[in-house]
Structure 1
Amino acid sequence: MRQKLLELGLDLPILPTTAVGSFPKPEKLKKARREYLDGKLTEEDLRPLEEKATKDWIEIQKDVGLDVFVDGEMYRGDMTAYFARNLEGFEMGGLVRSYGNRYYRKPIIKDEVKWIDPITTEYWNFAQGLTERPVKGVITGPYTMMDWSFNEHYDGREEICLALARNLRKEIEALIGEGTKIIQIDEPALSARPEELSEFVLDAMEIMTENLDTYFITHICYGAFKYIYPEMLELSVDNFDLEMSNSDLNLIKLFEKEPFTKDISFGVIDVHNHVVESEKISKSRVDRALEILKPEQLWIDPDCGLKTRKKEEAVEKLESLVSAAKAARGEINK
């Protein structure tokens, strides 16, 4: 897929490094977001804090040396609720538990879903304006939006998913219109019901990506991949961003049986662990990936978003993966 990147004007190094999406929010911003949800602050009150936090994380990514940036999602709360708040047809429900002590507000589909205005372009533009390196556009995909919402309108899951795909494609088109060349579609729920992959998930992704001139990544984390691999490779994307380290790289066993045929963003950092991986550990994971994957296929990143880590941990984890990638890159280029 390197040829596609070059055609888009993206001359990335071998083993490009990136982050998945979210970074830790500063306490001042988290406090302000709580006050906003309680009706004590407006979006205009949040904006300066969000912009400062975004700028800070762009600078950190520059200092760390990532090759492809993210905006850090300082303006988002939850990955599903954020888009639900900005699409017609949704209402916000109460808090539900996702894992551990993490909760999110589960949206309710009350009416026909409609995309009205761009949702992420303003902050993508803000972030891209702060760096010459490419910034990924990141949206939550239709299957996860469907699976993580209550439905009180549509007849079934397929109808919901395809309706969401048609509307979220408009967000992708808006990002491309602004100049976004790499777009990541987050689908962590993809293995929730493996039979639905062939029934309608492939169709939904085709709706999202067909005839669009950009490099597509889909992020699928902490899934039961053994139930959807290798069929998931039929998804119409260029790159699969997968958690690898939290599961001790056991996905490699699947790849050894059925070769991985697309690009992969290979998670070498466990985002649910406070321990910062040494460069040696991160490099060993890169080396293991290179035993079964071509260097041209391989991107290096964390397993998932880093928003649950402390800022210092997140920075040090990014430094570890960048150092590991550079070391491996040096060996390849000898």
Structure 2
Amino acid sequence: NTRRRTKITLPGPFTMAQQAQNDYYPDLRSLALAYADAVNAEIKALHAAGVDIVQLDEPYLQARPEQAQQFGVEAINRAVAGVKGQTALHICFGYAHVHHYAAKPSGYSFLPELEASQVDILSIEAAQPTIDLSVLRRLPSKKIMLGVISLGDLAIETPAIVVEPLGSDTLVGIRIDEQNIQVRLPPRRVRRVGELVRLNVSREHVHLFNSDGRRIAG
């Protein structure tokens, strides 16, 4: 039991159809829709049990965009048909260490199409590679869960690296008197994760934080 909000992740019907051996259904679309019916029952059961958000993981929407164009959204919408609770959909490029740090594309081959899906939230890997976030304007009806941790970098991220892409504030790392400082600046529109910017601000609007994220007085 928990008093906190809960989220359960399930494999998505499109991805399961791409990974399964099909000896029965006439084509992959039919297989994906059959999986969608099973997933739909599971989602409804989880919400009935008290789960707040059920997320579908669909990495193969990116890996197989041609087939995703044909029946990806159809399978997703069938999986969430009649669902009363919140639903999320996660897409990504895969784990970098599994692919030996292979280069990833600069954008998703199947993303704006998800505006037609009936899920409430889209969870998107955005830190590796650095995705042009302007594409999110094509998803006006969706809440966005933005992935800001790069799987290709083993270094522990500073608060600046994690928070900056979200756009609520701009955190800039600088060095003053041999001390690493993070400068928190007023919000701005972020065009690209990790973007380098030059800002002119008045001193009274600057707040200093150390590398641990604690505010420095004065």
Residue in structure 2 matching 1:176, options 47, 65, 70: 47
List aligned pairs for 1:52-63, cutoff 5 A. Answer: none
Counterpart Cα distance in 2 of 1:160 and 1:267: 30
Gaps of 5+ in 1: 1-128, 294-322, 328-334
Conservation of the 8 A alpha-carbon contact between 1:239 and 1:265: yes
* Structure 2 counterpart of 1:291, one-letter code: R
Change (3 A) 1:147 1:274: same
List aligned pairs for 1:226-265, cutoff 5 A. Answer: 226-248=108-130, 250-255=131-136, 258=138, 260-265=140-145
TM-score by length of 2: 0.67
Shift of 1:231: 1.5
SS in 2 for 1:196: helix
Conservation of the 8 A alpha-carbon contact between 1:255 and 1:292: no
The structure with more helix, counted as a fraction of residues:
1
Conservation of the 8 A alpha-carbon contact between 1:186 and 1:219: yes
Shift of 1:178: 0.6
Other-structure match for 2:56: 185
Shift of 1:267: 0.7
Counterpart Cα distance in 2 of 1:268 and 1:288: 14
List aligned pairs for 1:58-69, cutoff 5 A. Answer: none
Counterpart Cα distance in 2 of 1:271 and 1:192: 18
Which structure would you say has the larger RCO, counting Cα contacts within 8 Å and 6 or more residues apart?
Answer: 1
Conservation of the 8 A alpha-carbon contact between 1:226 and 1:254: no
Q: Sequence identity of aligned pairs in percent? A: 27
Other-structure match for 1:8: none
Counterpart Cα distance in 1 of 2:151 and 2:63: 21
Conservation of the 8 A alpha-carbon contact between 1:206 and 1:235: yes
Q: 1:291 and 2:162 equivalent?
A: no
Shift of 1:188: 0.8
Other-structure match for 2:146: 266
Change (3 A) 1:165 1:147: same
SS in 1 for 2:156: coil
Shift of 1:159: 0.9
Shift of 1:232: 1.9
Shift of 1:269: 1.2
Conservation of the 8 A alpha-carbon contact between 1:136 and 1:184: yes
Counterpart Cα distance in 1 of 2:144 and 2:114: 13
Q: 1:204 and 2:75 equivalent?
A: yes
CA RMSD after TM alignment: 2.7
TM-score by length of 1: 0.45
Shift of 1:207: 1.3
Counterpart Cα distance in 1 of 2:30 and 2:38: 13
Number of aligned positions between the proteins: 165
* Structure 2 counterpart of 1:240, one-letter code: L
Shift of 1:253: 4.1
Conservation of the 8 A alpha-carbon contact between 1:197 and 1:232: no
List aligned pairs for 1:100-119, cutoff 5 A. Answer: none
Counterpart Cα distance in 2 of 1:234 and 1:191: 16
SS in 1 for 2:88: strand
Gaps of 5+ in 2: 95-104, 170-187, 192-211
1:208-243 C-alpha deviation (Å, 9 max, x unpaired): 112211111101011865432311221111110000
